[in-house]
C-alpha cells in the first residue's frame, strides 16, 4: 500500500516522468480527438464546420490564494473557466491543453491532486486533455489552459449580433462568487490574527462553493438547443454583469436597459452582502467570477424559455444613443459603469 503521507520531490521524477505519470489516467472520449498526449502535437478531426478556441492563464497570488483554495478545486476551476468561454460561443467543448509551471515547494503528490481536479472537470464537461507542458518555475504556480470547442455555423453566438429590442437574459444568480471571496478573505484574516480561530465556512457553503468551484453553464447551452433558441449574442460573466453588458453593447452597437428588480440574487448572497455592509445590487452588477451566461434572444423566442427556472429576463436592448442604464425599483434611471472585477476588488 502506498503511504498517503509520503512526499516525492519533483526533482526525483524529471519532466518526462511527471507528464507520463499524470496523463496515464486520462482517456479521450470525443470522436474528434484522434491523438492526445504523446507526440509533438495532438491530432484532431473537427466534425462541425466551426471551431472555437479560447485560452486563460491563472497565476498564484493574483488569481488564487493557496492558503484557502484547495489544489483539486483549482484544477477544476482552471478547466471550468475555459469551458465557460466555449459555452459563451454556444459551442460544445471538445479538447483542452493544460500547461503548468511550479516551483519545487510542490511535491509530486500535490501535482497529482491538482490533476485530480483537472480530470474531474474534463469528465464533467466531456473534454479531452490532449496536450500540455509541465515545467519548473522560480516562484509560484501558473496554470495556462487552452480550450477548443465545436459548433455549427448556424448556432454560433458572438458578442456581436444582438438586435434592437432583444431580451437580455442571464442564467443562475449573480454576486455569489464575489461574496464567497469576501468570506474566504475575512476568515483568512481572522486565522492570521489568531491561528486558534476556526474558519466559519459552513454557513456560507454555497457562496464559498461559487468562488472555489465555479461551473461552466454547459447545461444552459444544451437546453437552449433543446428549446430551439439561438442567442443573438452571448458572453460569460467573468468580470461582472456591468462589464459584460458593455462588451455586448460595444460589439452589437446597442444600448441596454436592465431592471434592478429583475437581477437574480441568491438569498445567501444578499444576506452576506448586508452583513459585510455592501449593497447587494452593486455586488450583482460588479462582482466577478460567477461564470453565468449573459445573452440576448429575439422576442419571438421568449415563449420557448419563459418558464425556465434558471434563466432570468433582466432587460432589453435599445438604441445605442440611449446608453446603458439600470432602472431601479423606484423607476430611477442610473447609468451603468463598467467597473470590472479587478477594479472593484481593489476598492472593497
Give the CA distances from residue 152 to residues 35, 50, 213, 256, in Å, rounded to whole numbers and listed in that order.
Answer: 23, 6, 29, 28
Asked if 179 is part of the footprint of a second copy (rule: CB under 8 A), the reply reads no
Asked if 146 is part of the footprint of a second copy (rule: CB under 8 A), the reply reads yes
Q: Are residues 125 and 81 in contact, defined by beta-carbon separation less than 8 angstroms?
A: no
User: 14: which 3 cell numbers?
Assistant: 524529471
Asked if 95 is part of the footprint of a second copy (rule: CB under 8 A), the reply reads yes
Residue closer to a second copy by CB (options 236, 266) is 236
Count of residues in contact with a second copy, rule CB under 8 A = 65
Residue closer to a second copy by CB (options 130, 168) is 130
Rounded distance, CA 81 to CA 102, Å? 20
Asked if 109 is part of the footprint of a second copy (rule: CB under 8 A), the reply reads no
Least distance CB 21 / a second copy (angstroms): 16
Residue closer to a second copy by CB (options 69, 201) is 69
Least distance CB 245 / a second copy (angstroms): 14
Where do the DSSP E strands lie in 270-337? Answer: 293-297, 311-318, 324-327, 333-335
Give the CA distances from residue 67 to residues 89, 187, 278, in Å, rounded to whole numbers and listed in that order.
Answer: 34, 11, 25
- Residues 115-134 interacting with a second copy (rule: CB under 8 A): 130-133
Binding mask 149-178 for a second copy (x = CB under 8 A): x------x-xxx------------------
Place of cell 491523438: 35
Q: Are residues 226 and 138 in contact, defined by beta-carbon separation less than 8 angstroms?
A: no
Ramachandran area for residue 116 (φ above 0: left; ψ -120 to 50: alpha; else beta): alpha
* CA dihedral over 276, 279, 282, 284, signed as positive or negative: positive
**Contact range with a second copy by CB under 8 A, out of 8-16, 192-200, 215-223, 306-314:** 8-16
Among 23, 97, 249, 286, binds a second copy (CB under 8 A): 97
- Residues 49-78 interacting with a second copy (rule: CB under 8 A): 49-57, 59-63
Asked if 182 is part of the footprint of a second copy (rule: CB under 8 A), the reply reads no
Least distance CB 196 / a second copy (angstroms): 29
Selection from 180, 110, 181, 96 nearest residue 140 by Cα: 110
Q: What are 236's strand-pairing partners?
A: 293
Least distance CB 60 / a second copy (angstroms): 7
Burial of residue 304, with CB atoms counted within 10 A of its CB: 0-12 exposed, 13-18 middle, 19 or more buried: middle
Among 7, 9, 12, 14, binds a second copy (CB under 8 A): 14
Asked if 45 is part of the footprint of a second copy (rule: CB under 8 A), the reply reads yes
Applying CB under 8 A, which residues contact a second copy? 14-16, 34-35, 38-46, 49-57, 59-63, 85-86, 88-89, 91, 95, 97, 99-101, 130-133, 135-140, 142, 144, 146-149, 156, 158-160, 234-236, 251, 340, 342-343
Amino acid at each position: 500500500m502506498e503511504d498517503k503521507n509520503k512526499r516525492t520531490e519533483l526533482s526525483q521524477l524529471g519532466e518526462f516522468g511527471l507528464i507520463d505519470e499524470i496523463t496515464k489516467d486520462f482517456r479521450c472520449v470525443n470522436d474528434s480527438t484522434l491523438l492526445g498526449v504523446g507526440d509533438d502535437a495532438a491530432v484532431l478531426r473537427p466534425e462541425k464546420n466551426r471551431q472555437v478556441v479560447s485560452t486563460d492563464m491563472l497565476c498564484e497570488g493574483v488569481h488564487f490564494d493557496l492558503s484557502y483554495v484547495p489544489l483539486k478545486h483549482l484544477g477544476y476551476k482552471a478547466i471550468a473557466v475555459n469551458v465557460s468561454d466555449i459555452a459563451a460561443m454556444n459551442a460544445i467543448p471538445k479538447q483542452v491543453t493544460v500547461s503548468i509551471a511550479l516551483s519545487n515547494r510542490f511535491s509530486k503528490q500535490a501535482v497529482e491532486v491538482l490533476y485530480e481536479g483537472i480530470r474531474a472537470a474534463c469528465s464533467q464537461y466531456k473534454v479531452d486533455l490532449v496536450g500540455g507542458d509541465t515545467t519548473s518555475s522560480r516562484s509560484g504556480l501558473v496554470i495556462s489552459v487552452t480550450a477548443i470547442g465545436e459548433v455549427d455555423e448556424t448556432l454560433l453566438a458572438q458578442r456581436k449580433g444582438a438586435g434592437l429590442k432583444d431580451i437580455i437574459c442571464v442564467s443562475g444568480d449573480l454576486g455569489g462568487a464575489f461574496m464567497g471571496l469576501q468570506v474566504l478573505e475575512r476568515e483568512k484574516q481572522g486565522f492570521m490574527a489568531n491561528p486558534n480561530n476556526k474558519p466559519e465556512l459552513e454557513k456560507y457553503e454555497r457562496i464559498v462553493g461559487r468562488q472555489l468551484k465555479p461551473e461552466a453553464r454547459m447545461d444552459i447551452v444544451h437546453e437552449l438547443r433543446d428549446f430551439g433558441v439561438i442567442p443573438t449574442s452571448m458572453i460569460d460573466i467573468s468580470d461582472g454583469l456591468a462589464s459584460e453588458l458593455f462588451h455586448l453593447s460595444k460589439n452589437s452597437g446597442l444600448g441596454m436597459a436592465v431592471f434592478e428588480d429583475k437581477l437574480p440574487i441568491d438569498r445567501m448572497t444578499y444576506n452576506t452582502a448586508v452583513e459585510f455592509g455592501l449593497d447587494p445590487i452593486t455586488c450583482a452588477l460588479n462582482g466577478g467570477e460567477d461564470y453565468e451566461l449573459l445573452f440576448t434572444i429575439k422576442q419571438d423566442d421568449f415563449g420557448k424559455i419563459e418558464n425556465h427556472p434558471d434563466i432570468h429576463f433582466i432587460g432589453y436592448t435599445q438604441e445605442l444613443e440611449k446608453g446603458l442604464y439600470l432602472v431601479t425599483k423606484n423607476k430611477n434611471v442610473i447609468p451603468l459603469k463598467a467597473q470590472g472585477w479587478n477594479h472593484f476588488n481593489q476598492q472593497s
